[in-house]
Amino acid sequence: MNPSEPLSPSDQATAAESAANAGNAGRSRRAFLFKLSLLLNGAVGAVLAVPIMGYLLGPALKKSSNEDSWIRLGPLGDFPEGETRLVNFRNPVTTPWDGQTGDIPCWVRRISGNDFQVFAINCAHLGCPVRWFAQSRLYLCPCHGGAYYEDGSRASGPPERGLFEYDHKIVAGSLMISAGKMPTLASRNCGQPKLTQIQPSSAIAREPFTEPMHSEDAQSRSSSWPA
């Protein structure tokens, strides 16, 4: 587009200095400044994007290791052997304006002695609250009819796996569970869909493909559960 392009640099320089091209020179200077201003604003925009994206993506970037912590559910005496009970706990991570949404229920099954299973309330299908029916020994979901046996394994319906299970331990005669995050297929499906005893999500996030077991009794029990 520039007619002086094919000319040699020295010719170009003289042409630029000529009075006829003075207007062009001014325009090219302004075009350069315009491009420079675009570049400057692009750079400022990129710098501005860092805190904005950091703020926006914060919840997803946060290391999930501190989201699960040990919570006391109550003394062992609260849980009769052979029964399954609904227990509420306050989520370890809440905001002051969470109100009652910070209270999370879970199903505690005391098999016998110190042998426990603690299930999340959320159906493994789409997270609705499952209800325990002691007579038929089933958990039923009101949303789409998912059903689970008393050991949490899938019985029928749309769920693709058993109930989510919290890791638990017994400390000084009290039942403790490791909880803090809503269980979903993403946080709890660690490539081992047959198992219902699952590590807390923090450990899974760090070591995605390790066998998700902590305690010895968990190991011995999980092997005897139906698939």
Partner 1 sequence: MASLKKRAVDIYNWFEQRLGLAAPAIEAAEHQIPSNTSSWWYVFGSAATVILVLQVMTGILLALVYAPSANHAWSSLEYLDHNIRLGWFLRAMHGWGSDFMIAVVLIHLMQVFLFGAYKFPRELTWIIGVCLLLLTLGMAFTGQVLRFDQDAYWGLGIGASIVSRVPFVGGALVDLMLGGPIIAGPALSRFFTLHVFVIPGTLLALVGLHLWMVLRLGINDWPMPGRLVNKKTYVQDYHKLTEKTGIPFVPDAVWKDAVFAAAILLAIMACAFWFGPFGPTGQPDPTIIQTAPKPDFAFLWIYAVLAYLPPSLETPVLFIAPVLIIGGMLLLPLVSGEGEKHWSRRPVAVLMVAVIAVTLGAFTSLAMYTPWSPIMNAWTSDPIPLTDLKDRTPLEREGALVLQNKQCRNCHAIGGAGGMRGPALDTVASHMTEDQIIRQVLQGGGNMPAYGNALNPAETTALVHFLLTLRSGNLPPAIDASRKLALTSEPPQAQPQPPVPNYH
Kindly tell me which residue out of 24, 70, 74, 102 binds partner 1, with binding defined by CB under 8 A. 102
**Do the Cβ atoms of 85 and 77 come closer than 8 Å?**
no
- Among the residue ranges 29-37, 38-46, 101-109, 215-223, the one whose residues contact partner 1 (CB under 8 A): 101-109
Burial class (CB in 10 A: 0-12, 13-18, 19+), 161: buried
User: Rounded to whole angstroms, how far apart are CA atoms 18 and 33?
Assistant: 22
For position 88 contacting partner 1 by CB under 8 A, the verdict is yes
For position 144 contacting partner 1 by CB under 8 A, the verdict is yes
Between the two ends of the chain, the Cα-to-Cα distance in Å is: 74
For position 62 contacting partner 1 by CB under 8 A, the verdict is yes
For position 69 contacting partner 1 by CB under 8 A, the verdict is no
Burial class (CB in 10 A: 0-12, 13-18, 19+), 106: buried
Kindly tell me which residue out of 79, 116, 119, 149 binds partner 1, with binding defined by CB under 8 A. 149
* Alpha-carbon dihedral 196, 202, 207, 212, rounded to 10 degrees: -20
State in angstroms the smallest separation of the CB of 146 from partner 1.
9
Comparing CB distances to partner 1, the nearer of 116 and 151 is: 151
- Please list the residues that pair with 170 across neighbouring strands: 175
Q: Fill in the per-residue mask, 122 to 141: x = in contact with partner 1 (CB under 8 A), - = not in contact.
A: x--xxxxxxx-x-xxxx-x-
For position 157 contacting partner 1 by CB under 8 A, the verdict is yes
Comparing CB distances to partner 1, the nearer of 190 and 218 is: 190
Radius of gyration of the chain (CA): 31
User: Rounded to whole angstroms, how far apart are CA atoms 84 and 79?
Assistant: 8
Residue numbers of the site for partner 1 (CB under 8 A)? 57, 59-62, 64, 67, 86, 88, 91, 93-95, 97-105, 121-122, 125-131, 133, 135-138, 140, 142-145, 147, 149-150, 155-160, 180-182, 184-187, 201, 205
